[in-house]
Amino acid sequence: MAERRPRKAKEPGTVRRRKPAGVSTGLAAVELLAAAPPGEVAELHRAIEDDGGKVLAVYREPFGGRWLLMAALPIEKVEPTPYQRNLSETHVRRLEAVIGKLGRFLDPIIAVRAPQAGTARYWTPNGHHRLSAMKTLGAKSITAIVVPEAAAAYQILALNTEKAHNLREKALEVIRMYKELARLDSATEETYALEFEEPAFITLGLCYEERPRFSGGAYHPVLKRVDQFMKGSLRTALEARQARAKTVLALDDLVAQKVEALKARGLTSPYLKSFVVARVNPIRFRPKEAEPLSFDETFDRMTKAAGKLNPDTIRIDDLARSGGAPDEGG
C-alpha cells in the first residue's frame, strides 16, 4: 500500500480563496447590447437629454442582465441621497488632489433620477465624495451609471463601496433611510431587509441621533443577537424602535455611572464601557440550546445587573482579560 504523503502545512497569513462557481451565469460580452431596451429605459434616455445630460451608452449589466445607462449629467443637478452619511473631509481632499493631479475622472458614480416633481434632480447613493470633489474642482458635468429603478437609491449600504462605513455612519444612514421610506409607503422592515442590512442598525441609528457620542460598538454584539425586524408598517414600527432606543440609552446612562466609578478607582482603559456592558450581558455565556432571550428580556436583565454591579470588586486583571472594541465616545 502506497504511503500517504503528509499535507503541506499552510503558511501563516495565507488566505484560502473561494472556488469559482461551477456553472457560468449572466451574459456574455456580446449579449450586453444584443437586445432593444424596453420602453421605460428609452423614456429615461429622453429624460436625461431633456435635463441637459448626454447618454453615452445603453446596455445590460453582465450579471443580472438589467438595463443601465452610461451618461454625462450636469453636475449641478446631481446630489447625494437625502439620508446619506456625512462627508469625510479628509477623503474628499484626497480625491480632489488625485483627480486634479491625474487630470482625469475615471470612476463614474451611480445615480438614479430622483422621484420628485419640479426641477429634475439625480441622486447618487455611492458617489458623495467623488461628486463633492468634482464640484470643488469646478467640473461642469460628471459621468454616471444611471439605474432606471429609483429603488436602487435605497440599496445604499449594499451599493456603497466608495469608503467603508464605521458603525456610527452605517447606523445613521440606515435610520435616515428608514424615516424617508416610512414617509413614502407603508412597507414593513422586512421589505427593506437588504437595505437595512440588520435590525440592530435601526435601533443604533436612533441612539446615535439622540446621543452623537454614543458608544454603539459596546452594544452592537448584544443587539445583533436579540434585535429583530418588526412587524407592521415602518411608521408604526418606528415608535417601537424609538422605545427600544430609549431603553438602550437608559442602560447606557447606568453603565456610564459604573465607568466613572471605575475611573475614580484609577482603572483606565479604552475598553471600560465595553467591559461593563459585557459584564452584565446575560447572553454572553448562555448555552446554545437555551431558549433565546427577547430584546426586552435581555435589556431588563442587563439593567438590573448593571444596577447591582459593584465597581469595588473589579480588578485590573479583569480589565486586561476583557479586550473588546474600544469605546467610541463618552
Interval 313-323: pLDDT, tens: 888 777 766 55
Domain boundary among 107, 138, 159: 159
Quick check: pTM over 0.85? no
Q: What percent of the chain has pLDDT over 70?
A: 85
Cβ distance 255 to 306 under 8 Å? yes
Q: What percent of the chain has pLDDT over 90?
A: 57
Q: Is 16 within a domain?
A: no
Q: How far apart are CA 56 and CA 45, in angstroms?
A: 10
Cell numbers representing residue 192 in the block: 427593506
- 135 and 183 both lie in a single domain: no
With a cut of 80, say whether residue 158 has pLDDT above it.
no
More confident residue, 117 or 192: 192
Cell numbers representing residue 219 in the block: 452594544
Please give the mean pLDDT across all residues of the chain: 86
Q: Is 271 within a domain?
A: yes
Cβ distance 234 to 188 under 8 Å? yes
Q: How many domains does the chain have?
A: 2
pLDDT single digits (tens) 130-155: 999 999 999 999 999 999 988 777 76
Give me the CATH number covering residue 103: 3.90.1530.10
Closest CA to 170 of 156, 149, 183: 156
pLDDT single digits (tens) 216-255: 999 999 999 999 999 999 999 999 999 999 999 999 999 9
pLDDT band at 75 (very low <50, low <70, confident <90, very high): very high
More confident residue, 304 or 173: 304
pLDDT for residue 206: 97
- 152 and 183 both lie in a single domain: no
- 104 and 242 both lie in a single domain: no
Cβ distance 274 to 217 under 8 Å? yes
pLDDT band at 186 (very low <50, low <70, confident <90, very high): confident
- 307 and 172 both lie in a single domain: yes
Q: Is 138 within a domain?
A: yes
Domain boundary among 110, 126, 159: 159
Q: How far apart are CA 158 and CA 163, in angstroms?
A: 12
pLDDT for residue 271: 84
Q: Is 310 within a domain?
A: yes
Q: What average pLDDT does this structure show over 96-115?
A: 90
Q: How far apart are CA 316 and CA 120, in angstroms?
A: 61
With a cut of 60, say whether residue 326 has pLDDT above it.
no
pLDDT for residue 267: 83
Of the given ranges (49-53, 158-162, 176-180, 298-302), which has the lowest mean pLDDT?
Answer: 158-162
Closest CA to 201 of 179, 170, 156, 246: 170
- 180 and 144 both lie in a single domain: no
Domain boundary among 159, 182, 198: 159
pLDDT for residue 5: 57
With a cut of 70, say whether residue 21 has pLDDT above it.
no
pLDDT for residue 330: 46
- 54 and 180 both lie in a single domain: no
Q: How far apart are CA 238 and CA 202, in angstroms?
A: 9
Full domain range(s) for residue 83: 36-159
Q: Is 30 within a domain?
A: no
- 56 and 81 both lie in a single domain: yes
Among 5-14, 88-97, 210-219, 262-271, top mean pLDDT goes to 210-219
DSSP state of 148: S
Cβ distance 129 to 91 under 8 Å? yes
- 179 and 301 both lie in a single domain: yes
With a cut of 80, say whether residue 77 has pLDDT above it.
yes
Q: Is 208 within a domain?
A: yes
pLDDT single digits (tens) 261-294: 998 988 887 888 999 999 999 998 888 888 999 9
pLDDT for residue 14: 54
pLDDT single digits (tens) 28-48: 999 999 889 999 999 999 999
Q: How far apart are CA 201 and CA 215, in angstroms?
A: 13
Q: How far apart are CA 214 and CA 303, in angstroms?
A: 17
- 197 and 113 both lie in a single domain: no
pLDDT for residue 10: 53
Q: What average pLDDT does this structure show over 180-203?
A: 89
